[in-house]
Amino acid sequence: MLVIDGISAYYGGVRALDKISLVQEEGEILALIGGNGAGKTTLLNLISGIVKPTHGTIMFKGEDIVSFSPEKIVELGIIQVPEGRHLFGPLTVQENLEIGAYRRRRRQNKKKISDDFEHILQLFPVLGKRLKQRAETLSGGEQQMLAIGRGLMGRPLLLLLDEPSLGLAPLVMQEIISIIGRLRQEGTTILLVEQNARAALKIADRGYVLEAGKMRLQGSATDLLENVELKKAYLGNRS
């Protein structure tokens, strides 16, 4: 579904990614692991078209999308839920969700969009109670749910999740993780960027490890969980 081949990019004059390649199959959850500044977010922004590479190609369903504008990429079904959530704070919860479906306003009928809206409220019942509230008044966990909900309103074929657990209490984090699991059951392909490598690998099919802009390791999630080197660096000492 997604094939990234030899991509390099600069960020603020520094080489952020160096000849990265990555393959993702349809229906797969891929975990992208790495420390701060490893280039994970840059990679997501490359896919979303916000950052442009100096070399390499990004093929989505057989089409090179490197030259596409961000809105065109959203239209293809690649939707990113950005790190730090980036909600539209002064807008209401409902408005945030509506804007998630902005690209679908002409192509698809209102019925489908409102069905998705109902579906998301089932997925995140707490949002249903807060529809008229401003997004900035929500708690951290609720904001993350809204961010994911907004992404889902775009009917993603490929969902790019950037650090969904960042700054959340463990209990809330568990809830988010379980929702990601549910999304997979519904057939959404997910590229998950996480610092919490253990949690990510537990629900992922395969994983990639980025370090200082280079691809260090890749393999199935179970293999990576057992990898000695990785344990030291990212998984802590708990087995």
Interface segment toward other proteins; rule CB under 8 A; list 57-65, 96-104, 168-176, 181-189: 96-104
Instruction: Give the E-state strand segments of the chain in sequence order.
Output: 2-11, 14-24, 29-33, 55-60, 63-64, 78-81, 158-162, 189-194, 206-211, 214-220
Identity of the residue, 115 or 229, whose beta carbon is nearer to other proteins in the bound complex:
115
Binding mask 101-120 for other proteins (x = CB under 8 A): -xx-x---------------
At closest approach, how far in Å is the CB of 103 from other proteins?
A: 4
From the CB of 63, what's the least distance to other proteins, in Å?
17
Nearer to other proteins, 80 or 227 (CB): 80
Position among 35, 37, 70, 128 found at the interface with other proteins (CB under 8 A) = 70
Residue 38 engages other proteins in binding (rule: CB under 8 A):
no
- CB-nearer residue toward other proteins: 156 or 207: 156
Helix (H, G, I), strand (E, B) or coil at 229: helix
| Among 24, 48, 165, 196, contact with other proteins (rule: CB under 8 A) | 48
Nearer to other proteins, 72 or 232 (CB): 72
Q: Which of 3, 23, 59, 99 contacts other proteins by CB under 8 A?
A: 99
Q: Mark 191-208 as b/e (b = at least 16 C-beta within 10 Å).
A: bbbbbbbebbbebbbbbb
Half-sphere exposure of 143 toward its Cβ, with a 13 Å CA cutoff? 22
Give yes or no for residue 83 binding other proteins (CB under 8 A).
Answer: no
Give the x/- contact pattern for other proteins in 132-151, rule: CB under 8 A: --x-x-------------x-
| Distance of alpha carbon 239 from alpha carbon 198, whole angstroms | 10
Query: Rounded distance, CA 159 to CA 148, Å?
Result: 9
Contacting residue, 34, 154, 164, 213, with other proteins by CB under 8 A: 154
For position 1 contacting other proteins by CB under 8 A, the verdict is no
Asked if residue 160 lies in contact with residue 78, where contact means CB atoms within 8 angstroms, the answer is: yes
122, with CB counted inside 10 A (0-12, 13-18, 19+), is exposed
Residue listed under structure tokens 């991509």: 7
Q: How far is the CB of 223 from other proteins (least distance, A)?
A: 32
Question: In whole angstroms, what is the distance from residue 178 CA to residue 102 CA?
Answer: 27
How is 108-160 classified by DSSP, letter by letter? S-HHHHHHHHHHHHHH-HHHHTTTTSBGGGS-HHHHHHHHHHHHHTT--SEEE
Binding site for other proteins (CB under 8 A): 48, 50, 69-71, 74-75, 79-80, 82, 86-91, 95-96, 98-100, 102-103, 105, 134, 136, 150, 154
